[in-house]
Amino acid sequence: MESNTWRDEDLLQMKAKGIAVEQVEKQLQEFERGIAFENLKAPACIGSGIMKLDDNQLQSWVDRLEKASVKKVKFIPASGAATRMFKNLFFFLEEFDSEKESLQEFIARTRKNELTKFFHQLEKLPFYEEVIDYAQLDKKSNLDDLAFPFVQNLLNEANLGYGSYPKGLVPFHKYRDEILTAFEIHFLEAMNYTQNEEVAHLHFTVAKKHLDKFEKAQAQIEKKYPENDFCVDYSYQQENTDTLAATIDNQPFREKNGEILFRPGGHGALIENLNQVEADLVFIKNIDNVCVHEYLNEIVDYKKALGGILLEIQEKVFQVLKKIDAKDPEALAEANQLLSSCFHSEEQIKSFTEAKELLNRPIRVCGMVKNEGAPGGGPFWVLDAAGKASLQIVEGAQIDANNKSQQDIAAKATHFNPVDLVCGLKNYQGEKFDLLDFVDASKGFISEKSKDGKALKALELPGLWNGAMAHWNTIFVEVPLVTFNPVKTVVDLLKTSHQPQT
């Protein structure tokens, strides 16, 4: 589409968002030609791209982090709403009619089997007592009579309104004398990352409309833990990272009022937010991936170990880069050894320039759990256009479903990406990297969505831990499955990792 075919209103809309016309036209071209799938070489596994720690190594790297004088920040993507978590409950409110069928008949008819688990274990949910008390419901009521008012009072904005809350502020864990949200649990984790009198730094990416709720919750948490010193920052996904939506025939999708539809560009847009963080180490973890107190020490130890590994390898990299600057004749051999042993590179570098280009990059240490069938990304060896292999986290949408050899490689994957990263954002001279220099802009996603009953194509930017970090130096480490406890639907709160034992 040529620039002169845009309406004046379109140009004003783009300007208001801070999006250049050239950027929009480039996105239309991406819809036209499609986005290339990844070229998998092999799954990463123990002994081939994934480290496995024994107990002595674990403690050694925990100690390494605890002794280091570095600024640590916990970076938590937290803009997600709880709507999707309660999807089946919203469906229940819309479709259930107690005068026409029983609860059991409704579940059988709609095949929403998750509702059976939800309603038959209501008392184990962290918000059970709150809903009962708020709505003055009788716990002894027949389930057919209790179900609808319970869900209605839980979700509707006129009542408790958790259906429109950010997921991070929905009750997750109930102990005898307190209820914790995922937001508060991240504060507890951050406290455990710090030593002695250190400040616990946290950075949450949130939806602008929810900032007030988060700040009020933060004030309550700081009052609850007066002996701890927290420094909390918030940021929003920037509007200029929104992407154009297209029709099925690759034209701009327009809303009923004629405006172009722009959509959030996915979590890959958060590389802009991460790029603004001032820290030596950044710990990244999704807002809903938390656990009850019983598992906290193990989770924190492994996260510290990932940080210790990063510091140790980073120190070696920095030493070699300083030797390269000094034109030390041993530097090239040491650079090759580092690239091979730490980053599993197959390249043999022959010049100081090449060595510096490959080593002077952000480093990420990524925890990987054993694959137990959960949907999502995993660690793979990926070939670039020049046939060079590197370690990458690959999402299912990036693998060609019609290519048998690629699907065979994907089927052999032994590990799964739980989004458990520690990142080194500074170079050997103590300067911040510009993280946008290390993004592979070709690694986005195109998915099919709908709006107002019409099909559309949505473009997601290169994922935060996929294409947005494609040119980082990467280390994969196996971590226990207990470190992966996402709450995708409300019944996940009934799993052991979210049910306190005391």
Q: Domain coordinates of the chain in residue numbers?
A: 3-82+240-498, 84-164
Percent of the chain with pLDDT over 90: 82
Alpha helices per DSSP H over 271-366: 271-274, 296-325, 331-341, 352-359
Query: Taking the mean position of all CA atoms in its chain, how far away is CA 350?
Result: 37
C-alpha–C-alpha distance, residues 316 and 130, integer Å: 53
pLDDT at 445 over 90: no
The yes or no reply on domain 3-82+240-498 and CATH 3.90.550 is yes
How confident is the model at residue 157, as a pLDDT? 93
Amino acid at 491: V
Phi then psi dihedrals of residue 466, to 5 deg: -110, -110
Percent of the chain with pLDDT over 70: 98
pLDDT at 177 over 90: no
Q: What is the pLDDT of residues 367-390, one digit of tens each?
A: 999 988 766 689 999 998 888 899
How would residue 292 be classed by pLDDT, with cut points 50, 70 and 90? very high
How confident is the model at residue 375, as a pLDDT? 65
Q: What is the pLDDT of residues 76-115, one digit of tens each?
A: 999 988 999 999 999 999 999 989 999 999 999 999 999 9
* Mean pLDDT, rounded, for 360-364: 97
Pick from 73, 493, 449: nearest CA to 283: 73
pLDDT at 181 over 80: yes
Q: Which residues of 189-223 are buried (b: 16+ CB within 10 A; e: fewer)?
A: bbbbbbeeebebbbbbbbbeebeebbeebbeebee
The pTM (predicted TM-score) of the whole model is 0.92
Lowest mean pLDDT among 4-8, 106-110, 330-334: 4-8
Residues 6+ apart with CB under 8 A from 316: 338, 342
* Mean pLDDT, rounded, for 130-142: 94
Lowest mean pLDDT among 89-98, 262-271, 362-371: 262-271
Pick from 203, 194, 204: nearest CA to 304: 194
How confident is the model at residue 2, as a pLDDT? 45
C-alpha–C-alpha distance, residues 409 and 399, integer Å: 10
